[in-house]
Amino acid sequence: MVLAPAPDPHSPLSFLLSSPLYCIFAGRNAKTQGNILSNLLNSMSSKINFMSPLEAVSILKSGDHVHLSSVASTPTILVNAMCEYAKANGLQDIHVHHLHTEPPAPYANPEYEGIFQHDAFFVGKNVRKQVQAGYADYIPIFLSETQNLYRSGVLPINVAMVQVSPPDNSGYVSLGTSVDATLAAIERADTVIAVVNKDVPWALGDALIPLSAIDRFVEHDEPLEEAIPAQPNEQELAIGRHCAELIEDGACLQMGIGAIPNAVLSQLGNHKNLGIHTEMFADGVLPLVEKGVINGSMKATDRGKIVSTFLMGSQKVYSFIDHNPNVLMMDVGYTNDPFVIARNPRMTAINSAIEVDITGQVCADSIGTTFFSGVGGQVDFIYGASRSEGGKPIIAMPAITSKGVSKLVNTLKVGAGVVTTRSHIHWLVTEFGAVNLYGKTLQERARLIISIAHPSAQEELDKAAFARYGSHYHFVK
């Protein structure tokens, strides 16, 4: 079954088709039909009391905690207004929370020190330098639990700033590409400010919220942030081939964005009946959907549906989910719950790393003491896949950096964080092969890991293993 969009019963088009106006609509040319639909949409939006961005953020006060919808759907116009208003009015100690965001994050810059405190759930590239310099900060947290920070009251939430689609005729809007912890923030916030943006796709699932959940509205149309698909190099294609060999027909997949996920997906054209249950997906999924390779027919939960909590890709991805009943954008507490993940048989989770030591400890968030990203959903899916019947948790990474430094090491750098523990790791893949570490001793693991290291690093790693384990190490097969 090919996952193709179908009409949404709450859409303006469905409303028109079910009304007496349809006989007039059907007799018009395509351009006139488009104008009729546009006017209908505008009439629905006209019921909303819009205000300027500065007026909308004027409820901010010192000490507030603010949540921003994340990734592709960051409400940039509200961010800029927030910075302008807070600086002009002498506000202090406003805490800003979000997953990673794509546009510039001025509130994390040194000029706003004392006005804003950046306390995000992930370190994105737009705040990485500020976090490393100490002007911004990071809350280490499993992605599955980000929503619980709000729902449990551990983090107060005064203002949620989000982007939504225009409303349908039933008074609902869609959060589009960013449900994640944003839904929890909307539920708990004292004030919800929404940018109504026609470029936000109408996503289904937990993305639909009533207009009554929103307190202040700003109208602003602006294309969502895009990420152009990365083209994998030969090293990444080799990693992709090894991963693809581990993926069985009927498997349910989780992978992120970037060259390695794209390399894996490009190798799956001859697979059958794959499913998707993930925290995010991007352009690499679309060709497999079009070919019918990804159809979700073997999933145990949400059969026939692609399930995700946020998106980051090109406009093709955003158009794909628009009014598509076969894509569910769900709360991160559902998508990343390891026990929900485990319900799908042959769950195959592919995640990456910065370093892996010869015992199987995985560092994925820092380079020594320097934070580079965050925990994200890696542990959620590694653990969930390990509990799945026939599941395969996979850490896939280059064996060596572009500067010739081995990413497989005797010991992690001083201060490096362990994201996936040596007790959780199963499959480890590099361009030189794939090894299964589950159930293996420390000495067996060392042998296996060194076997897929870059040849230039193998002798040094072998000497380090010998020094660590003694002469008996040479007898381990």
Question: Per-residue pLDDT for the chain (477 aa), expressed as one digit of tens each?
Answer: 334 444 444 444 444 444 433 444 455 555 555 554 555 455 455 579 999 999 999 999 999 999 999 999 999 999 999 999 999 999 999 999 999 999 999 999 999 999 999 999 999 999 999 999 999 999 999 999 999 999 999 999 999 999 999 999 999 999 999 999 999 999 999 999 999 999 999 999 999 999 999 999 999 999 999 998 878 899 999 999 999 999 999 999 999 878 899 999 999 999 999 999 999 999 999 999 999 999 999 999 999 999 999 999 999 999 999 999 999 999 999 999 999 999 999 999 999 999 999 999 999 999 999 999 999 999 999 999 999 999 999 999 999 999 999 999 999 999 999 999 999 999 999 999 999 999 999 999 999 999 999 999 999 999 999 999 988 776 666
The upper half-sphere exposure of residue 67, i.e. CA atoms within 13 Å in the direction of its Cβ, equals: 31
Distance between CA 45 and CA 94 in Å, rounded? 31
Q: Which residue has the tokens 């820092």?
A: 366
3-state secondary structure of 329: strand
The answer for residues whose C-beta is within 8 angstroms of residue 112's C-beta and 6 or more apart is 83, 86, 87, 106
The answer for residues whose C-beta is within 8 angstroms of residue 19's C-beta and 6 or more apart is none
Q: Which residue has the tokens 């104008």?
A: 35
Angle CA 238–476–356, to nearest 5: 40
Distance between CA 408 and CA 172 in Å, rounded? 50
Please state at what angle helix 442-451 crosses helix 455-469, rounded to 10 degrees: 170
Contact between 365 and 419 (Cβ < 8 Å): yes
Identify the DSSP state of 154.
Answer: S
225 is a catalytic site residue: no
Contact between 304 and 297 (Cβ < 8 Å): yes
Contact between 51 and 78 (Cβ < 8 Å): no
Contact between 452 and 435 (Cβ < 8 Å): yes
Contact between 356 and 260 (Cβ < 8 Å): no
Distance between CA 73 and CA 68 in Å, rounded? 9
pTM of the full structure = 0.89
In the set 145, 236, 279, 355, the catalytic residue is 279
| Residue 68: count of CB within 10 angstroms of its CB | 27
The upper half-sphere exposure of residue 420, i.e. CA atoms within 13 Å in the direction of its Cβ, equals: 32
Any long-range contacts for 151-154 (C-beta under 8 Å, 24+ apart)? 151/184, 151/187, 151/188, 153/188
Contact between 158 and 193 (Cβ < 8 Å): no
Contact between 357 and 412 (Cβ < 8 Å): yes
Q: Which residue has the tokens 């602003």?
A: 220
